[in-house]
Amino acid sequence: MTDDAFDDILSFVEDELSFATSHYNDSYLDRRISSRIRRTGSDDYDEYYELLRSDPDEQEALIESMSINVTGFFRNPEVWDGIRSVLRELESETDEIRIWSAACADGREPYSLSMLAHDDDRVDESNVRILGTDISRPALETARKGVYEESRTVDIAEQLEFLDNHTRYVDVDDRTYRIADDVKRTVSFERHDLINDDPKSGFDLVVCRNLFIYIDNEYKSPMLEVLSESLRPGGYLVIGKAETIPPNLKSAFEVQDARLRIYQRE
């Protein structure tokens, strides 16, 4: 590998294909590019760069592989026990519970939040409003439809086992899972870029999981500032289980559950 060719690929993707590679960390980008190098049978970065410049299909394939959209219903189930406790706490504090699922991918996270609210006797789901946002328009399109297909690698029924009876909230037809209308009605979707767009305001709970692990350090703090400003004082923040709050922002939050990465805005 020559570092030059790797950098050339990143510049090409950023300038010509309008994908902001500079926001992501190099090891993540390297894994994605190396995987395309293997798939296309290219010998090295130089050869792959030549292919990429001349082949629009490969440009699309690389952008697709760089877009991190892995997600699931009730991902890391133990965290969802913690989120249930937060919802109950909020129910006792406020008439309307406003929740933001930031970087929500294809919508399974905000729909999990909605199902959790509908499923809990101690939470009145009619008081809950959930906003799901992501930078990816195709992901949001899937999210708005609320229809998910089971595949060889993704066992949706297993993901939904977190609930005692998921068929109350999802219509299952062979390998197709459709979110029920009342669960959908609690959730709305819009595009939001956590690096370039403004903060929101007044949220009681912000969930932003499994994005920071891919993001270059330089952008983590500004992103977390956006999330923090979007919370009302005393509002809750949940980040991914493998993620941490940068040292300069630690004083903005009180730790609610260190293991589950649940924090409360000071």
Ligand X SMILES: C[S@@+](CC[C@H](N)C(=O)[O-])C[C@H]1O[C@@H](n2cnc3c(N)ncnc32)[C@H](O)[C@@H]1O
Contact set with ligand X (CB under 6 A): 67-72, 75, 103-105, 109, 134-136, 139, 193-195, 209-211
We find the least distance from the C-beta atom of residue 214 to ligand X, in angstroms, to be 7
9: its two tokens:
């690929």
**Of 37 and 206, CB closest to ligand X:** 206
CB of 67 to ligand X, least distance (A): 6
Nearer to ligand X by C-beta: 69 or 126? 69
User: Strand 203-208 to strand 231-239: parallel, antiparallel, or no bridges (unpaired)?
Assistant: parallel
Q: In angstroms, what is the minimal distance from the CB of 95 to ligand X?
A: 27
Exposed/middle/buried for residue 152 (C-beta within 10 Å: 0-12, 13-18, 19+):
exposed
Residue 174, classed as helix, strand or coil, is coil
Shorter beta-carbon distance to ligand X: residue 110 or 235? 110
Q: How far is the CB of 72 from ligand X (least distance, A)?
A: 6
Query: Which one, of 161, 179, 159, lies nearest residue 169 by Cα?
Result: 179
Q: What is the largest CA-CA distance in the chain?
A: 61
Spell out the alpha helix ranges (H) of the chain.
3-16, 26-40, 45-54, 56-66, 77-93, 108-119, 137-145, 156-159, 181-185, 217-230
Answer whether 78's CB lies under 8 Å from 261's CB: no
Pick 72 or 82: Cβ nearer ligand X: 72
Nearest to ligand X of 19, 253 (CB atom):
19
Q: How far is the CB of 197 from ligand X (least distance, A)?
A: 8
Of 9 and 227, the one with the shorter C-beta distance to ligand X is 227
Q: Minimum CB separation from ligand X for residue 41, in Å?
A: 28
Identify the CA nearest to 163 among candidates 257, 84, 253, 51. 84
